[in-house]
Structure 1
Amino acid sequence: MINNNGDTLFFLLADDHTLIRQGMVFVLDEIEINYKAFHASNFRQIIDCITTHPIHIAIIDAHFPEGNSLQIISEIKEKKPDIKILIFSGIDENTHALKYLNAGADGFLSKLNEEEEIKQAILTMIKTGEYISPLTRTLLMHSLTNRNLVNPLLSLTDREMEIASMYAAGYGNLEIANMLDVKQNTISTIKKRMFKKLKIENIVELIELVKNHS
């Protein structure tokens, strides 16, 4: 629960798109709360804002030109543990919500929701300090018996994880084959098997997974 005794609520609206931030201002206006909003369009501005202002709720996009927000979540929580973080993003809630909650976010809200749902999510954040949508609640329940929902890399064998880390480090098939003293087509076969397990289609997605969950 956010306890500010009826005083002004301080929001950080962090998104690299001005229209998204302005849209959130309209939503906050309609909720009719006493608030002040600060804006940020990149990671540096986010850290500057939470350092210089008494932010209660940070509404942050999942992706910025500098990368995803997983790292910035932990940095915010380290600097200001009391700040509540709501990830507000257009990325798929089914496949991404749990990793952001696991990283320390207090809620995940899809930009695809209707305005009324967005209002309710913000009000819930104000009242309880967290927002878990029905979809994410179901994912959390399933994750109790299926750890792969939280970290898909757990489905990989030790060998596959070793190779995935090499791809993430920038090595190609031939380099990895030489380093592991195996044939190049063996690495290609393992790569295809990893793609199937992780339900991805290319190296870029694999590298993103390794970065997010290592």
Structure 2
Amino acid sequence: MIKIAIADDHKLFREGLRFLMDQMDDLEVVFEASNGKELLEQMENHEPDVLLLDLDMPEVDGLEALKQLRPKFPNLGIIILTMHSDSKMVAYLMELGANSYLLKDTSPEEFRKAISSVIQEGFYFNKMVSQAMLTGLKGQSKKKPTLNDTETLTTREIEVLELICQEYTAKEIAEKLFISHRTVEGHRKNLIEKLGVKNTAGLIVKAIKEGIIEV
């Protein structure tokens, strides 16, 4: 069972999301929060797998909540759920550690797909997010990726990173490169450490922003 938390200041929208969750057998809403302050308090007593986070909330907004939650809950899947489609905002939130970014008019089918992908692969980028990231990040920085003096990306790590950026799953990467799933996970972990990002979504952001991968 995937445990879901909902943070949105509109009660009607929260109720709609809960109704949608109730129609899906493997999803369970463990709590709702009407503002960021309430969300941060609730997180001390619950351990959801995925958080559906609105940006425009009173007391503590979604942006500040994301900043505070990501260091404390590194494994929490955070899906931004908002009406804002500005490319710079999308890119910025992905850099801060969001796992996905959906607009509130997203279809139930894509919504379910996003939750599954975040749980299984650590991220979900639809066409809107991919385009927004290209617009918001590409060319933003021309410097080379910042690595420790003694570290460089290996040829295999670059191959894995390229496939991650093409949205291949870990299983698909393993099959394509003729390596084990465990080896793929090892490369992914090394990439996260070397590039100094927070999660798999961050790898894609970094690859685009620093020009490590040709898009």
The one of 70, 88, 92 aligned to 2:85 = 92
- Between Structure 1 and Structure 2, which shows a larger proportion of helix residues? 1
Aligned to 1:108: 101
Name the aligned partner's letter for residue 108 of structure 1: Y
| 1:151-189 CA-partner distances (Å, limit 9, x unpaired) | xxxxxxxxxxxxxxxxxxxxxxxxxxxxxxxxxxxxxxx
Q: Is the 8 A contact 1:58 1:84 kept in 2?
A: yes
The one of 1, 7, 11 aligned to 1:14 = 7
Deviation of residue 94 (structure 1)? 3.4
Deviation of residue 30 (structure 1)? 2.5
Aligned to 2:20: 27
Aligned to 1:134: 127
Measure, in 1, the Cα distance between the counterparts of 2:136 and 2:88.
12
Task: Tell me the secondary structure at the aligned position of residue 110 of structure 2.
Answer: helix
Answer with 1 or 2: which has the greater Rg: 1
Q: Is the 8 A contact 2:7 2:52 kept in 1?
A: yes
Coordinate RMSD, CA, aligned? 2.0
Name the aligned partner's letter for residue 147 of structure 1: Q
Deviation of residue 135 (structure 1)? 1.6
> Is there any run of 5+ residues in structure 1 with no aligned partner, and where?
1-7, 149-214
Residues 144, 62 of structure 1: alpha-carbon distance in 2 compared, 3 angstrom cutoff: closer
Task: Tell me the secondary structure at the aligned position of residue 51 of structure 1.
Answer: coil
Moved more, 104-113 or 28-37: 28-37
Residues 146, 112 of structure 1: alpha-carbon distance in 2 compared, 3 angstrom cutoff: farther
Measure, in 2, the Cα distance between the counterparts of 1:68 and 1:41.
10
Deviation of residue 60 (structure 1)? 0.6
> Is there any run of 5+ residues in structure 2 with no aligned partner, and where?
142-215
Moved >4 Å (runs of 4+)? none
Number of aligned pairs? 141
For normalisation by structure 2, the TM-score amounts to 0.59
Name the aligned partner's letter for residue 37 of structure 2: R
Question: What is the identity percentage for the equivalent residue pairs of Structure 1 and Structure 2?
Answer: 24
